[in-house]
Amino acid sequence: MLRFTATRLVRAAITIVMVVTFAFVVLRLSGDPAQIIMGADAPPEAVDAFRTAWGLDEPLWVQYISYFGAIFSGDLGRSMRDGREAIVLVLERIPATLALTVPALVIKLALGIPAGILAALYRNSALDRAVMMFAVAGFTIPSFVLGLLLVLLFAVQLGWLPSGGQESWRHAILPVITLGIGGAAALARFTRSAMLEVLGQPYIRTASAKGVAWRRVVANHALPNAAIPTVTIIGFMFGSLIAGAVVVESVFSWPGVGRLLVTAVANRDLAVVQCILLLVAMTMITANLVVDLLYGVLDPRLRGGARKAEA
């Protein structure tokens, strides 16, 4: 198990280095932060001075090495826009993003999993069709369209809820619903597929033939086996907690990590972008690691596989 975990940690570290390197190269080759941040009207000598002050006049490889050197000494750099530490800027925004993504995740789980299970258990029924109709609709409508529709209805027409900003818990309702509906729909579809596959397995038929109550068959045999693919999706959703609301935060003017990322990319504010990417990569990798470990918990055969790999 130790080797299993260590292997994944090494892979995770390599992934993070690749992500950060890719972002560094792409962002630096697609725009000069000095010209972008100083603006079109800034005098050329001011842009040059900015470039020199931030080391942007150094060769790219020198900038890359000094950036990585700083990371290993715990310095994630400063925002070129206002000089603040990038990590401080990012950490400031995380609570706002979690205020959307965590309740949205709860909605996804609370709606998506039961809906998927019910649709599978009542396959081809009116209930199944209704659930799948909503699931397909929720899955296919882009979040910015859904968000704007909700705003038009609940903020503009009815005046029940605010349409944007982050001043009270009421401001979070529409973005949370927007995020939650799409995720719940996806989860319902995956859960239904996984359940249908398991319900078609011989051991389900055997258990039923042996006279086990249907409720117990579902609870003890179908659900645990259907959980593995579903857990994969849920793991991905956990990994998206930090930066999974980029579009929704823009539509609702919600000052979270997603909006910070958009602004930082547009301004080529390298340290901030890298800091967010590091956090996102680490979150995603941690979620994947937990999912891998959960596989072993859910399926004893995978534990054996892990032991074999260790041996």
Partner 1 sequence: MRRRDLALLPALGLAAPAVAQSDSRPQVTVAVQNISTSNTLEMLREQSNVGTRIFRNFVEPLVDTDWNGDMSLIPGLATGWRRISNRVVEFDLREGVTFHDGQPFTADDVAFSFGPERMWGGGAREVPPAVVQNARRAFPGFERIEVLGPHRIRLHSSVPDIILEGRMARSIAVIAPRGAFMASSGWMDWARHPVGTGPYRVAEHRPDQMLTLEAHDAHWQGRPPIRRLRFAEVPEVSSRLNMLFSGEVQFASDIPPDQISSVESDRRFEVVGGPINNSRYLLFNKSHPVLANALVRRAMSHAIDREAIIAALWSGRTSVPRGLQWEFYGDMYLRDIEVPRFDPAEARRLLREAGYRGQPIPYRVLNNYYTNQTATAQIMTEGWRALGLNIQMQMVENWSQILAGEPETRGVHDWSASAVVPDPSVQMSGSWGRTGAPWLRNQWRNEEFGDLAAELETSMDQQRRRVVWRRMLEIIEREDPGYVVLHRNASFTAKRRDIEWRASQSFFMDFRATNWRA
Q: How far apart are CA 241 and CA 72, in angstroms?
A: 25
CB of 105 to partner 1, least distance (A): 24
Instruction: Examine residue 36 and tell whether it contacts partner 1 (CB under 8 A).
Output: yes
Instruction: Examine residue 47 and tell whether it contacts partner 1 (CB under 8 A).
Output: yes
> Which positions from 76 through 105 interact with partner 1, judged by CB under 8 A?
79, 81-84
State which of residues 39, 59, 74, 202 lies at the interface with partner 1 (CB under 8 A). 39
Instruction: Examine residue 63 and tell whether it contacts partner 1 (CB under 8 A).
Output: no
Instruction: Examine residue 163 and tell whether it contacts partner 1 (CB under 8 A).
Output: yes
Place of tokens 């470990």: 293
CB of 268 to partner 1, least distance (A): 7
Taking the least distance from each CB to partner 1, the nearer of 160 and 203 is: 160
Instruction: Examine residue 166 and tell whether it contacts partner 1 (CB under 8 A).
Output: yes
State which of residues 113, 135, 186, 251 lies at the interface with partner 1 (CB under 8 A). 251
Task: Confirm if 191 and 123 have CB atoms less than 8 A apart.
Answer: no
Question: Torsion angle, CA of 56/58/62/68, rounded to 10 degrees?
Answer: -20
Instruction: Give the distance, in angstroms, between the CA of residue 156 and the centroid of all CA atoms in the same chain.
Output: 30
End-to-end CA distance of the chain: 10
Angle, helices 270-298 vs 257-266, to 10°: value is: 140
Taking the least distance from each CB to partner 1, the nearer of 2 and 158 is: 158
Task: Confirm if 236 and 289 have CB atoms less than 8 A apart.
Answer: no
At 78, give phi and psi (nearest 5°): -120, 150
Q: How far apart are CA 7 and CA 306, in angstroms?
A: 11
Scanning 152-160, 196-204, 281-289, 300-308 for contacts with partner 1 by CB under 8 A, the matching segment is 152-160
Instruction: Examine residue 168 and tell whether it contacts partner 1 (CB under 8 A).
Output: no
Burial class (CB in 10 A: 0-12, 13-18, 19+), 219: exposed
Taking the least distance from each CB to partner 1, the nearer of 75 and 85 is: 85
Instruction: Examine residue 124 and tell whether it contacts partner 1 (CB under 8 A).
Output: no
42: DSSP letter: S
Q: How many C-beta neighbours within 10 Å does residue 124 have?
A: 8
State which of residues 148, 212, 223, 294 lies at the interface with partner 1 (CB under 8 A). 148
State which of residues 114, 164, 296, 305 lies at the interface with partner 1 (CB under 8 A). 164
Taking the least distance from each CB to partner 1, the nearer of 212 and 247 is: 247
What residue ranges bind partner 1 (CB under 8 A)? 30-50, 52-53, 79, 81-84, 148, 151-152, 155-159, 162-166, 250-253, 255, 259-260, 263, 266-268
